[in-house]
Structure 1
Amino acid sequence: MEPYATAEQVWAGGLIFARVGAILMLLPGFGESYVPPRVRLSLALVLSLALWPIVGSSLPVLPATLGATVGWVIREVLTGLAIGAILRSFMTAMTTAGEIVSLQTTLGFSQTANPLQAQPGTTLSAFLMLLGVTLVFATNTHHLFIGGMVGSYEAIAPARPLIVSDFTAMAVRTLSQSFMLGVQLAAPVLVFALIFNLASGLVARVMPSFQVYFAAAPLSVILGLSVFTLSLGVLGTVFIDRYRSVAAFFTGGAVG
């Protein structure tokens, strides 16, 4: 390797590749099962070569022992997995919104294969997950991922101790915010379902002989999907704005 790169350069590139490759394994859109592994590895290699002149000065020197070398690599892989998991966990807001809408419109039984998850889910949740990934690329939010990779070397520099408590607190906060956002995104359908169910119950009390269920079930689906369709534009705008703020968090160079 000496005619092409020194041992220190190979070490720096490999250390960057360990973190960047781990992040790409979990990023929305890049880390999906339908993306070929060779494509992800090639992209991680290209990004590592591009980031090396920028973040190379913050990397530690080549350790003298094999144990220290393996320890640094494992540390960078764990750091990358933690960052990727935080960015990916916020996507569960769309799944939560889809499950709530499906439950309120009596479409929870409609299951389909979700290409972004390892298990099937409701049709609406799979649709919203695909919509979320599409919005990430349509609004160039994936550019913030690269900025976040660079900013992560300032926020979690390899020479500094790995702050596990801050990562844990941020993961818990991100998951709680994603669940709350999912409920907020489904709020129009929740309000509709509350009013509709109250009206159906009132009709059932006033007219006991009237079969309310047979009339309410199709109306619940039609009207609920209509409300969902009308609120879809606002839903996507709110989600991508919140997700961009999460993606830009590491770009700002702060954690915790």
Structure 2
Amino acid sequence: MLQIQMGQLEAWLAQAFWPFVRIGACFMIAPIFAARYVPARVRVALTLAMTLLVAPLVRAPTASPFSAAGVVITAQQLLIGLTLGFVLQLVFDALTLGGQVLANSMGLSFALNQDPLRGTGTPAIGQFYTILVTMTFLALGGHLALIEILVHGFQTLPLAATGLDRQTLWSVVVWGGNLFSGAVTVALPGVAALLIVNLSFGVMSRAAPSFNLFAVGFPVSLVLGLVILLVGLPQMQASFLELLQRGFAFTRDISQLTQR
């Protein structure tokens, strides 16, 4: 009769549980995988499938998942997964924020649509940028690159009670500044052009007080904003690709801490 001891059960559980925590935490916040249009069942099924593939290749610690050391390891895997997904999510948020700033300058802040990634209302220009960068991310195989980094990370950043150090966590905080710098890069040309237009209308209204500024200024600002949006698409895409490359390079640096 086959007899299985409690220690063997804990070892088998640890072999699959900690990889499941890291992968699941990453998919909870990573772009595309954490989108509202991806059902939770699909996300869990994908996490389980990856865990089954990765678990035999992972060297699990000898600590029990139910011990104090096991709780520390679980917290470390949760933090690692969330960090990897958060870095790439900031790239998407930077473009979305830039679109929102441009929409406010065009007078389209009231034109809200449902964001399929976050399930919240965002300006139409911001959602347009979100959909565009999502399709670009999928076309470039960004989702596959993220999975590759996750799988390779179990060899370079193994399961252990020591995971991300303070310096790495601080570098993630500094990386958050790219959210604002990327948004400024995307929105600055359009905002500057629309600012010049608004200044021109201000001068015209001072010279001719009877001039109906709202009736003429809003359509002109809207049309000019759409033209700027069309002309600036190549620059926006280049900014997204640069941020995406830096994001993947940063995630690889995080997952290769043991090789530094």
Calculate the TM-score normalised by the size of structure 1.
0.86
Residue-by-residue CA offset, 1:90-109 (whole Å, 9 max, x unaligned) = 32112211111111101111
**AA in 2 matched with 1:183:** V
Specify every segment of 5 or more residues in structure 2 that has no aligned partner in the other structure, as ranges: none
Paired residue total? 252
CA–CA distance in structure 2, aligned partners of residues 221 and 108 of structure 1: 12
- What is the match of residue 241 of structure 1? 242
Asked whether the 8 Å contact 2:106–2:221 carries over to 1, the reply is yes
Aligned to 1:18: 21
8 A contact 2:185–2:239 mirrored in 1: no
Give 1:141-156 correspondences, 5 Å limit. Answer: 141-153=142-154, 156=157
For 2:70, the equivalent position in structure 1 comes to: 69
Alpha-carbon contact 1:97-1:183 (below 8 Å) kept: yes
Change (3 A) 1:173 1:155: farther
Aligned to 1:88: 89
**CA apart distance, 1:167:** 4.3
Pick which of 208-217 and 32-41 moved more.
208-217
Distance 1:144 1:2, change over 3 A: farther
* 1:36 equivalent among 39, 53, 77: 39
Indicate how the Cα distance of structure 1 residues 193 and 66 shifts in structure 2: closer, same or farther if over 3 A, else same: same
In the other structure, the counterpart of 1:139 is: 140
Runs (5+) with no aligned partner, structure 1: none
CA deviation digits over 1:162-195, x for unaligned, max 9? Answer: 3352343233222211211111111221121122
Percent identity reads 25
Counterparts of 1:125 and 1:82, CA distance in 2 = 24
Could you report, residue by residue, the CA deviation over 1:108-138 in whole angstroms, capped at 9, with x for unpaired residues? Answer: 1112221222431211112212222221111
**Whole-Å separation in 1 of the counterparts to 2:133 and 2:166:** 29
Q: 1:191 to 1:152 in 2, by over 3 A?
A: same
Kept in 1, the 8 Å contact 2:14–2:64? The answer is: no
Q: CA 1:64–1:194 in 2, change beyond 3 Å: closer, same or farther?
A: closer
The equivalent of 1:111 in structure 2 is 112
- Distance in 1 between the 2:229 and 2:63 partners? 56
- The letter for the 2-side match of 1:232 is L
1:97 and 1:186 in contact (8 A); partners too: yes
Q: CA deviation at 1:53?
A: 4.7
| Cα distance, 1:139–1:21 mapped onto 2, change above 3 Å | same
Pick from 47, 51, 54 the counterpart of residue 54 of structure 2.
Answer: 51
* Partner Cα distance (1:13, 1:48) in 2: 6
Distance 1:116 1:219 in 2: 31
In structure 1, distance between residues paired with 2:155 and 2:104? 44
Distance in 1 (alpha carbons) for counterparts of 2:72 and 2:196: 58
Contact persistence 2:90–2:178 (CA under 8 A): no
3-state DSSP class of the match of 2:176?
helix
Preserved contact between residue 148 and residue 249 of structure 1 (Cα < 8 Å): no
Equivalent residue of 2:108, what SS? Answer: coil
